[in-house]
Amino acid sequence: MLAYAPDLDRVFQALADPGRRLMVDRLSRGPASVSELGRPLAMTLAAVLQHVQVLEACGLVRSAKLGRTRTCSINPAALRSAESWIADRRTMVERNLDRLGEYLAATADQPDPTSHAEGQQ
Amino acid sequence: MLAYAPDLDRVFQALADPGRRLMVDRLSRGPASVSELGRPLAMTLAAVLQHVQVLEACGLVRSAKLGRTRTCSINPAALRSAESWIADRRTMVERNLDRLGEYLAATADQPDPTSHAEGQQ
DNA sequence: GAGATAGTCAAGTGGATGCTTCAGTGTCGC
DNA sequence: GCGACACTGAAGCATCCACTTGACTATCTC
């Protein structure tokens, strides 16, 4: 029954930060080093690293160290899982709205006043 | 240039909480009252209300009070904006991976050793 | 109208988050 | 070898978050 998904917590939490979204955005164009990711961010390298660790902990990003630079790249699978969680719900919502529309259209001519007060303000 | 989107912060932040995701999931099947949303959640009504307020503040949920009950319903537009932020990046990632694949395939027979050390651990 | 129901407001609390500084460590380039 | 570079770890700190309790307000229901 739709088991509790601990990873989604962390993925959405990770995406909630604008700096981390910027990193994801950058990485979606290709791999980058930690300092490269932090360049547009006006914060310490240490802070950047912490963000990278958050992204890595939730599976959004993978990284490997080569020499003295750590190269990060994105993991599309984690993006996909978050995306489809949302997509599934949105699809359901829209399907229900469509059915509601059909129902309203079908009962529009009938004199049954079972209308809920929808759409305030 | 992809302006800073303050709402996405709050939408992802809202979705980061498993209880709130459960509420969104419930609402994706149709409207519900505050106490109905909180029923499976083992927390105070006051706490449930706070979650609802978070969901409302980011635009994921709308609500209207009728009599003494507040009926909440979901707003698909907010879901859509979060979904497409992710989808855009994921699409970009996958396109780039495809291009990389093509590049590797095209240069596979050439004796140029420009291979990066990918895939650690 | 009295008691139950459904929600609301405000204040407080413990734990997580997002930084910082500082003191390293390992690598690169000359 | 030595200085610069890229990163790492630990500690500290301000703020935010997810609750709780307790007091209160409407609205039903009988």
Structural domain boundaries of chain B? 1-105
Fold topology of A1-106: Arc Repressor Mutant, subunit A (1.10.10)
pLDDT of A101 reads 73
pLDDT higher than threshold 70 for residue A2? no
Asked if the B1-105 domain carries CATH number 1.10.10.10, the reply is yes
pLDDT of B73 reads 97
Q: Note which residues in 68-87 of chain A have CB less than 8 A from chain B.
A: 71, 74, 76, 79-80, 82-83, 85-87
Closest alpha carbon to B54 in B77, B81, B72: B72
- SS3 at position A17: coil
Q: What average pLDDT is seen over chain A?
A: 86
Per-residue pLDDT tens over the stretch A5-25: 558 999 999 999 999 999 999
Quote the DSSP letter at residue A21: H
Per-residue pLDDT tens over the stretch A59-86: 999 999 999 999 999 999 999 999 999 9
pLDDT of B38 reads 95
pLDDT (tens place) for every residue of chain B, 121 residues total: 444 555 899 999 999 999 999 999 999 999 999 999 999 999 999 999 999 999 999 999 999 999 999 999 999 999 999 999 999 999 999 999 877 777 777 776 665 544 444 433 3
Mean pLDDT in residue range A37-49: 96
Q: Note which residues in 1-30 of chain B have CB less than 8 A from chain A.
A: 2, 4-5, 8-10, 12-13, 15-18, 21, 24-25, 27-30
The answer for residues whose C-beta is within 8 angstroms of residue A36's C-beta and 6 or more apart is: A26
Q: Are A52 and A36 in contact (CB under 8 A)?
A: no
Query: How many angstroms separate the CA of residue A119 from the nearest CA in chain B?
Result: 8
